[in-house]
Every structure is written in C-alpha cells, then in structure tokens.
A and B are shown apart, each in its own frame.
Chain A
Amino acid sequence: MTAKAFLLKDKVALVAGDSQLWTKPVASALAGAGADIAIAAKSSPILAEAVEAVHKTGRKALALPLDVAKAAQVQKAVGQVIAEYGRLDILVNSGDIHFFKPFMKIKNAEWGKVMDTNFKSALNFCRAAARPMLKQKNGRIINIVSGLAERGLVNGSAYCVSMGGVLQLTRALALEWARKGITVNAIGTGWFTDPDKAMDETLARYIPVKRYGRPEEIGSLTVYLASEVTGFTTGQFMFVDGGLMAHA
C-alpha cells in the first residue's frame, strides 16, 4: 500500500530508456500511485507491455518509440508529452543494457552502444525534460543505475563507466538545480531476477537477504523519490539491493 503522502495524483511521469527490466515495473508503480505516464524507448514488445500495465491501473499511457541516443528525437518526445498532458513532473531514466567483456576485446561499436543506452540516453532526457521542469520550478528526476556505478567488476569496464557517468550526472545536476525546484537522485540496483535468464544460485547466496530482487521492488523507492515530500533529498544515491552494497 502506498502511503498517502507518496501518492502522485495529477502528476505526469516520463519513463525513459531502453531496459529489459525496469520499464514495465516502474511505469506500473508510478501509475499505481496515481500518475499519468509516458514511456519513451526503442520500439519493442516491452513498450506495449508497459502501456498495457499502465492502462490496468486506470491511468493514461503514451508510448513514444524513439532512438534514445538521438537528442532531436528525445526533444521531440518531451514536446509530445507536454502536448498531450500539458506538463511533465517526473523523469525516470531507466536505460540499462548489460554488457560484460574483457576490456581489450571490446569493439568501438560495442562501447558506443553501451554508452548510448546507459549514459547518453539519460543525458538527452535530462536536457530535454529540464526545460519544462525549470519553467514549472518543480521537477523530480530519478536515475536508475546499478551498484556498479560505484563499484568495479572484472570485464565490466564499459558497463561501470556508463553507470558511473549517470551517477555523477545525478550529483552535479542536483547541485546545479538545487534552488530551481528540481531534485535529482539515483537508485542503485543490485541483482534482480530476469524473466529471460536462468538465475545463478551461487550469486543469490552472496546477496545478504539470500534472494534476488524482483523488478517490481524497484517501484516503491521510485514512487517515494517522485513524491512531493522528498524535496529536501537531492544528489543522493540509494540502493534497492538486499544489502549488497553494505558489504560487497
């Protein structure tokens, strides 16, 4: 049950970025808390599933298929959100492509793809969404990243760099917009179940609570950070990870 104080009635949220895991649960949680939703991501079955999940809550959903790495397309999409809903209160950047390979073997195109999906997407959407938020003097930006924004991992150079970039963007923009009514925070994710993958039990034993997170467990912190009552919380990185970051 969402606490009344965290409800997002009359708010408009944009869930942005290409992600196998986060798009649907995040859109669904924000809609469940009362927000109308726009979803901007590459055209895929996930986009349609997320729209359907939003409709189930009774809120409005707007699908915006696009290339997240193209700034002009992102600008246009934010324009469509404003045209449709008249405002934009919440931006959730959830771009997340997993990529692990020895550093010396990563091809330029692979590196570029990881940076486009995980970092440049967030950059483009922050730029585009801040315009109406700065005008409203009110906004919430939530960047979903991995704990690997802060920790290293063997064969994780591209992924760690891309996530670390979003984390530092979070902190710097939080300060830049601190007196303009926009808060910018990051959620750090641990290991989550992926419906498309077999889960490694060895890894689960390494998680302090001894189980993988369920993607929908990212929703409640997203809703909390999107709510009106978190105006004093900005530039922060908080984790939904079953305790991983406390010891890893």
Chain B
Amino acid sequence: MNGGKGTLEGQVIIITGGGTGLGRSMAFRLAEEGADIVVAARRVPPLEETAAGVRQRGRKALAVSTDVTDTTQVNGLIEKTLAAMGHIDVLINNAGIVRGERPKALWEISDEDWRTGIDVNLSSAFYCSRAISKYFADRKRGKIILVASGEGFRGQRNSFMYNTAKAGVVNLTRVMALTLAEYNVRVNCIVPGFVDTYENQPEDYQKIMAERRAARKLFVPVGNPGKPDDIGYVALFLCSDASDYVTGGCFISDGGGLAGGFAITGYAPVVSLKEGRV
C-alpha cells in the first residue's frame, strides 16, 4: 500500500490563486505527494515563490500570470500548461478574495462591486473549468476541484458577493459533476472553515488577520483554527484515486462549525448585537 513513490506521481495539477494562502499550501502538499504543479494568479512574485517551493520539493513547477476572470487569459493558461507539461490531470479552482469586501451598506454597493465580487469568486471557477472541460472529456479522465467556504452554506451580515458567490460555487460543483460524470471526470468541492493561512499571506493581509484571528478562533468548536495542511490533505484525497467513485460532493473541513450553529453552541462567546456589528 505504501510505495516509496508519491501517491500523485506523474500528475499535473493546476492551482488557481496558487501564489498565496491555501493555494500555496495545497501546492506544497500535493508536490510532496509527487505531483507537478502549475500555479496561476495575477501577481507574479508570489507565484514564483510558490513555484520555487515546489521545485525545492523535487517537482516540476510552472508559474503562469493569469487574470482568472479573463477568458482569453484562462484559455492561455490551459494551452501554456499543455505545452510545458504535456498533460493535465487535475484543476483546482482556488482563486478568490477571502472576505475581500469592505463593509458597506447594501444601498451603497455599486454594480461594479457586485460584478467584481461574483467574477472573482464564482465566474473564475466557471471560466477555468469550462476551458479544461473539453480536454478532460476527450481524455475520458480528469478531476476538477472547486473551493467554496463555510460562508457558502450560511448567511453573514453585509457579505453579499462573497457568500452569494460561494453558494454558487457549491451548486456549480453539482451541475458540473452531473454533466461530466459520463466522461469519467469527477468534480468535487473543498469547503474550508476558518483556516489560518497567516504565513502565506501578503503583509497587509497579515495585519487584518492578526486582529481577527484571536477573536475568530473562539467560535471554532474544536478550539483552534485549521492549519493549511488540514485543507491540503482534503485536496490530496480528492486528487488521488481514493476518491474515484466520489463526485458532486462537498468536503467540509471546518473544525465542526457547520455541524452546529442553530443556537449558541457552547463554544462561541456571547457577543452583544452592538459589538457584533462590523
């Protein structure tokens, strides 16, 4: 059962949003399990850092500067990957803005705010999946993984685009799973809860995180935020042949958050309505 070779030996995996956060930690985890990694995002320096980390782990890496909300660039990502790596086995749609919305009154959200939020968090996954779907269908194999959020299953005050888009990601997973099942393509969704990706984030984001992490972890039933590898191993399971009969599913790793929440769980501190307001 336990070969010296990695479980994902020979696989080529594209990870969007692979420069920072969960994208980077998934890249490292999957590289350690034997996969060659292609990372795609807009900013090049973080992508190159991830790619260097993958190469340090003895695997091939490719960094492709891509705006995943731009169809032409997305199609280019697939073409460049095939040219450089020869084949593609898994696409992980990880790009998104983690709670990137500034709190704003509903009546002040502009059309552009709305479109950007939906584009980055939902449409990007559709564009990338569409771009690779024909290749996977012709090849009669492939895995597409989407990354939603616990927020896709619940509401949150003032979080319009993010929560709406992530709920969309969940159902996009199901529709694609059913559509591509006959081509032996599996489509599943990773749902992270509050995972501490502090280490892999740019400095400005680290500042915001530092303020929030202490308070937020009190709400996690297991008592601590997740580690990036908690999600990396979910990705490993879904990339590997261990999940070949699994499709259209949501794999939630959130320290128990979504299992409760109907009432005060006994874990969450009681916050007055006034304090809770953003």
Enumerate chain A interface residues (CB-CB to B < 8 A). Answer: 1-7, 32-34, 170-171, 174-175, 178-179, 208-210, 213-214, 217, 220-221, 223-224, 227, 229-236, 238-247
| 23 sampled A-B residue pairs with Cβ under 8 A | A1-B7, A1-B240, A2-B1, A3-B6, A3-B237, A3-B240, A3-B242, A4-B7, A5-B233, A33-B1, A178-B255, A178-B256, A178-B267, A179-B223, A209-B245, A232-B227, A233-B253, A234-B255, A234-B256, A236-B251, A238-B251, A238-B252, A246-B178
- CB-nearest residue of chain A to B3: A1
Question: Quick check: A1 and B1 within 8 Å, CB to CB?
Answer: yes
B272, CB-defined interface residue at 8 Å: no
CB of B221 to closest CB in A, whole Å: 4
Question: Quick check: B221 and A220 within 8 Å, CB to CB?
Answer: no
B244, CB-defined interface residue at 8 Å: yes
- CB-nearest residue of chain B to A190: B245
Question: Quick check: B255 and A3 within 8 Å, CB to CB?
Answer: no
Q: How far is the CA of A239 from the CA of B248 in the complex (A)?
A: 9
Range of interface residues on chain B? Answer: 35 or more
CB of A36 to closest CB in B, whole Å: 15
Enumerate chain B interface residues (CB-CB to A < 8 A). Answer: 1-3, 6-7, 33, 173-174, 177-178, 181-182, 184, 193, 195, 221-223, 226-227, 229-230, 233-234, 236-237, 240-256, 258-260, 265-267
CB of A10 to closest CB in B, whole Å: 14
Known contacts A175-B221, A175-B265; is-contact A235 B259 (Cβ 8 Å): yes
Known contacts A174-B256, A178-B221, A235-B256; is-contact A243 B2 (Cβ 8 Å): no
CB of B224 to closest CB in A, whole Å: 8
Q: How far is the CA of A208 from the CA of B6 in the complex (A)?
A: 30
A-B contact count (CB 8 A): 155
Q: How far is the CA of A156 from the CA of B242 in the complex (A)?
A: 30
Q: How far is the CA of A234 from the CA of B184 in the complex (A)?
A: 29
CB of B153 to closest CB in A, whole Å: 11
Known contacts A33-B1, A175-B260, A234-B221; is-contact A210 B244 (Cβ 8 Å): no
Known contacts A210-B181, A217-B245; is-contact A230 B1 (Cβ 8 Å): no
Q: How far is the CA of A208 from the CA of B183 in the complex (A)?
A: 10
Question: Quick check: A239 and B249 within 8 Å, CB to CB?
Answer: yes
Partner of B1, one of A7, A227, A244: A7
Question: Quick check: A232 and B1 within 8 Å, CB to CB?
Answer: no
Question: Quick check: A232 and B193 within 8 Å, CB to CB?
Answer: yes
Q: How far is the CA of A32 from the CA of B177 in the complex (A)?
A: 30
Q: How far is the CA of A1 from the CA of B34 in the complex (A)?
A: 13
Q: Which residues of A contact B252 (CB under 8 A)?
A: 233, 236, 238
Q: How far is the CA of A7 from the CA of B7 in the complex (A)?
A: 12
CB of B173 to closest CB in A, whole Å: 8
Q: How far is the CA of A247 from the CA of B255 in the complex (A)?
A: 27
Q: Which residues of A contact B6 (CB under 8 A)?
A: 3
Question: Quick check: A3 and B236 within 8 Å, CB to CB?
Answer: yes
Q: Which residues of B contact A232 (CB under 8 A)?
A: 193, 195, 222, 226-227, 230, 253-255
Question: Quick check: A246 and B177 within 8 Å, CB to CB?
Answer: yes
CB of B66 to closest CB in A, whole Å: 28
Q: Which residues of B contact A6 (CB under 8 A)?
A: 233, 237, 242
Q: Which residues of B contact A217 (CB under 8 A)?
A: 244-245
Question: Quick check: A208 and B243 within 8 Å, CB to CB?
Answer: no
Partner of B229, one of A175, A208, A229, A247: A229
Question: Quick check: B256 and A221 within 8 Å, CB to CB?
Answer: no
10 closest pairs, A vs B, by CB? A235-B259, A246-B248, A220-B242, A178-B221, A208-B181, A232-B230, A246-B174, A3-B7, A243-B247, A232-B226
Q: How far is the CA of A203 from the CA of B178 in the complex (A)?
A: 16
Q: How far is the CA of A5 from the CA of B248 in the complex (A)?
A: 24
Q: Which residues of A contact B223 (CB under 8 A)?
A: 178-179
Q: How far is the CA of A178 from the CA of B2 in the complex (A)?
A: 31
- CB-nearest residue of chain B to A179: B223
Q: Which residues of A contact B253 (CB under 8 A)?
A: 230, 232-233, 236
Question: Quick check: B246 and A224 within 8 Å, CB to CB?
Answer: no
Question: Quick check: A235 and B258 within 8 Å, CB to CB?
Answer: yes
Known contacts A2-B2, A171-B260; is-contact A245 B222 (Cβ 8 Å): no
Q: Taking each of A2, A178, A223, A224, which has the highest tally of chain B beta carbons within 10 Å of its own beta carbon?
A: A178
Question: Quick check: A242 and B247 within 8 Å, CB to CB?
Answer: yes
Partner of B259, one of A3, A4, A175, A224: A175
- CB-nearest residue of chain B to A239: B249
- CB-nearest residue of chain A to B229: A229
Q: Taking each of B173, B182, B222, B245, which has the highest tally of chain A beta carbons within 10 Å of its own beta carbon?
A: B245
